Amino acid sequence: MEQVKSRITTTHAEGADCQVLILACPSIAAATQPGQFVHVRVSESADPLLRRPISVMLADRQAGHIRLLVRKVGRGTEALARLPAGATVDLLGPLGNGFPFPSAETSGDILLVAGGVGVAPLVFLADTLQTHRARFRVCGLLGGASDEHLPVWTELAGRCEEFHVSTEDGSAGEQGLVTELLGEHLAQDGTAVVYTCGPRPMMAAVAQMCAEARVPCWASLEQWMGCGVGACLGCVVPAAGGDDFLRVCKDGPVFAAEQLAWEALGQ
């Protein structure tokens, strides 16, 4: 993990409420694995004080760049999305554990199930899986409220052998929830493993469907964070089966679905 000052080389709006930023930070680009995140100080001033965690969507090791997808939901993400090219931000990273890779024996379909901005870490995973294609196929499933809420969908589609979209209003792809697409794939019986990132209710449903189908499932959680490095316990979530807690920043953000007490996680 490093703390670096990083220059924004490019920034552009994406869909209804997102921004894509490219940042120059060779050391973080070289070290980051899919599923890891950077903790971003969004302002030079003390307001907002806390850093904001953002997944690395892609790392270009040769160019020394990382790419972030930021959905504007509040003060921190609005401030980050407003920064112009040339501005400098303070980054801490890479943080978190990242997605475990499928073993060399894995055969069948690898499903990437994304909701909205949860697509970001799965783009990086799909990109990295492209170099390991011998035994499995990568299939991407992306859901959103409407066609305006499917950020960077081409980035995921272009890295998958099969790709499907669902929208709640039917403005793109199948009308309905992404979990309906998942149900169709699980019924075909060729799924080796599922990786998911998106809203918690979506991931809770994905986890349950995978448990019923006896398919391993890895979920990347979002949570409010303080330190981002495991020290403050500001990000804990309840573990399955008892009184234990897990730190999303250090033990995660990626968890095996059965590690978590989904019913106690809330929205």
Ligand X SMILES: Cc1cc2nc3c(=O)[nH]c(=O)nc-3n(C[C@H](O)[C@H](O)[C@H](O)COP(=O)(O)OP(=O)(O)OC[C@H]3O[C@@H](n4cnc5c(N)ncnc54)[C@H](O)[C@@H]3O)c2cc1C
Shortest distance, position 237 Cβ to ligand FES, whole Å: 10
Binding status of residue 92 toward ligand X by CB under 6 A = no
Q: 38 near 95, Cβ under 8 Å?
A: yes
Q: Which of 232, 256, 258, 263 binds ligand FES (CB under 6 A)?
A: 232
Shortest distance, position 34 Cβ to ligand X, whole Å: 12
Q: Which of 15, 34, 76, 102 binds ligand X (CB under 6 A)?
A: 76
Instruction: Specify which residues 111 forms β-bridges with.
Output: 139, 194
Reported as half-sphere exposure (CB side, CA atoms, 13 A), residue 244 has a value of: 10
Q: Which amino acid is at 38?
A: V
Binding status of residue 257 toward ligand X by CB under 6 A = no
Report the partner that residue 231 touches, choosing among ligand X, ligand FES, none (CB closer than 5 to 8 A by kind): ligand FES
Report the partner that residue 70 touches, choosing among ligand FES, ligand X, none (CB closer than 5 to 8 A by kind): ligand X
**Cis-peptide, bond into residue 53, ω within 30° of zero:** no
Shortest distance, position 136 Cβ to ligand X, whole Å: 25
Q: Which of 205, 247, 259, 262 binds ligand FES (CB under 6 A)?
A: 247
Shortest distance, position 51 Cβ to ligand FES, whole Å: 9
Q: Who contacts 124 (Cβ-Cβ below 8 Å, separation ≥6)?
A: 34, 35, 55, 56, 57, 58, 59
Report the partner that residue 73 touches, choosing among ligand FES, ligand X, none (CB closer than 5 to 8 A by kind): ligand X
Q: Is 81 exposed, middle or buried (0-12, 13-18, 19+ CB in 10 A)?
A: buried
CA 19 – CA 11 distance, rounded (Å): 7
Kindly list the distances between the CA atom of residue 210 and the CA atoms of 70, 179, 186, 254, in Å, as whole numbers in the listed order. Answer: 28, 11, 8, 16
Q: Which stretch binds ligand FES (CB under 6 A): 41-49, 66-74, 159-167, 223-231?
A: 223-231
Residue among 242, 157, 238 nearest 200 (CA):
238
Shortest distance, position 247 Cβ to ligand FES, whole Å: 5
Report the partner that residue 230 touches, choosing among ligand FES, ligand X, none (CB closer than 5 to 8 A by kind): ligand FES
Q: Is the dihedral of CA 239, 245, 249, 251 positive or negative?
A: negative
Contacts with ligand X by CB under 6 A lie at 37, 48, 52-55, 69-71, 73-77, 96, 117, 120, 222-225, 248, 253
Contacts with ligand FES by CB under 6 A lie at 225-228, 230-235, 247, 249
